[in-house]
Amino acid sequence: MTKISIVMPVYNSENYLSECLKSLINQTFKDFELICINDGSTDNSLRILQEYQLQNDGCITIISQKNSGAGASRNRGFGFVNSKTVIFLDSDDYFYPNFLEKMYDRYCETGADVVICRYDVTLPDGTFFQQAAGIYSEMLPAKEVFNKKDIPQYIFNFSNHAAWNKLIKSDLVKEHKLEFENTPDSNDVFFTLSVLFFAEKIAIVDIPLLRYNFLNENSTTINRDKYVNTFVFDSFKKLKQLINNNSLFEISLYNAYLSSVMYILNFSKGKNRRKFLKFIKNNVPLYKKDSVYKKYLYYRLLAIKRLPVPVFIILYKIKCTIKKLIPQKIKKRLNIK
């Protein structure tokens, strides 16, 4: 039995796939299996996978299927997992050489149900920077290993809602029958936040170990403007049932919902942006300002609630234009959102 199973959906990633696979094959930690789900790719992704499979006998398993989406692909890939731990990666990201080693060492040291690392983000101009959303240090308790009881007000907020920077104990997924949702976007929100909720032990690797790619034109992040994304709303309805209206976790869940909705708004355009703003007006409640840890999101929601949609869009476009003109270094120094 290998120590880590990597589940990786692949869909039209030919421009990034070789670099991704190379970064995994060259890991300092070698005891892993890579389960690749070729999700109906129409480019050279399958050929690239097959080449790497031949060069690395026994390490890579390829499963081909009709295009079903990342969520369905991850669920199918998990069915082939034979390791005590699993990590769900994207085929267009880059992983630093000690990524698996650092994550697994932390898992062994702590016996954690989930280990989380920081990450860098690659920008369209090729530069990259460390993304704060990987781990918000100010939300962590003064403990090496913790769970939801230690930070009930932040359990859904201290880390990003994606699965690709989290090493997870396979039995946790099996025990709670967790699955990714079969949606065009936000398919990992319910899964990831459920993992954080159910984990008895959470541990941190406090350095960036991978580089998240914003460049792939086929990624769900880039393509969010193609539809009105209300999938995240259904995810949070299920999460609200999960916490069973427990007031200890309600504020954390609200903040996670607000952050997700506003993140999606950043990628919406045209008619879909107008529709999504109307959705926000009607479905996202306005909590007290003191309950929202990102105050700028509170004020943005307040503006959406109070202003006519066309007025908000004009002001929002002006704000986004000004933000683009400010260099990244200055944004970080001034903490501009």
Q: How far apart are CA 76 and CA 156, in angstroms?
A: 26
Q: Where a domain ends, among 225, 255, 284? A: 225
Residue 321: predicted pLDDT:
86
Q: Which domain holds residue 155?
A: 4-225
Considering only 60-64, 103-107, 125-129, which range has the smallest mean pLDDT? 125-129
Residue with tokens 């996978």: 49
End-of-domain residue from the set 195, 225, 255: 225
**Residues 97 and 122 occupy one common structural domain:** yes
Question: Rounded to an integer, what distance in angstroms lies between the CA atom of residue 275 and that of residue 224?
Answer: 13
Domain termination site, one of 158, 192, 225: 225
- Please check whether residues 220 and 232 belong to one and the same domain: no
Is the per-residue pLDDT at 192 higher than 70? yes
Are 185 and 308 part of one and the same domain? no
Amino acid letter, 161: H
For the chain, percent of residues with pLDDT exceeding 70: 92
Tokens 């996670």 correspond to 256
Position 18 scores a pLDDT of 97
Question: In this model, does residue 222 exceed pLDDT 50?
Answer: no
- AA letter at 322: I
Question: Is pTM, for the whole model, over 0.85?
Answer: yes
Q: How many domains does the chain have?
A: 2
Q: What is the pLDDT of residues 238-271, one digit of tens each?
A: 999 999 988 889 999 999 999 999 988 988 888 8
Pair 238, 185 in one domain: no
Residue corresponding to tokens 């996202």:
284
pLDDT at 262: 92
**Residue 134 contacts by C-beta under 8 Å, 6 or more apart in sequence?**
116, 117, 118, 119, 159, 160, 165, 208
CA distance 134 to 142: 18
- What is the average per-residue pLDDT within 281-306? 94
Q: Same domain, yes or no, for 221 and 232? A: no
Per residue in 30-57, is it b (16+ CB within 10 Å) or e — as a string?
Answer: eebbbbbbbbbbeeebbebbeebbeeee
Shared-domain flag, residues 213 and 72: yes
In the chain, the N- to C-terminal Cα span, in Å, equals 45
Give the pLDDT of residue 131.
78
Q: Same domain, yes or no, for 66 and 194?
A: yes
Same domain, 213 and 233: no
pLDDT value of residue 322: 86
Residues 216, 244, single domain; the answer is no
Specify the higher pLDDT residue, 231 or 328: 231
CATH of the domain at 135: 3.90.550.10
Indicate if 287 and 204 belong to the same structural domain. Answer: no
Q: Count the alpha carbons within 13 Å of 308 in the hemisphere toward its beta carbon.
A: 3
For residues 177 and 161, membership in a common domain is answered with yes
**pLDDT at 323 > cutoff 90:** no
Rounded Cα distance between 314 and 319, Å, is 9
**Is 136 in the same domain as 240?**
no
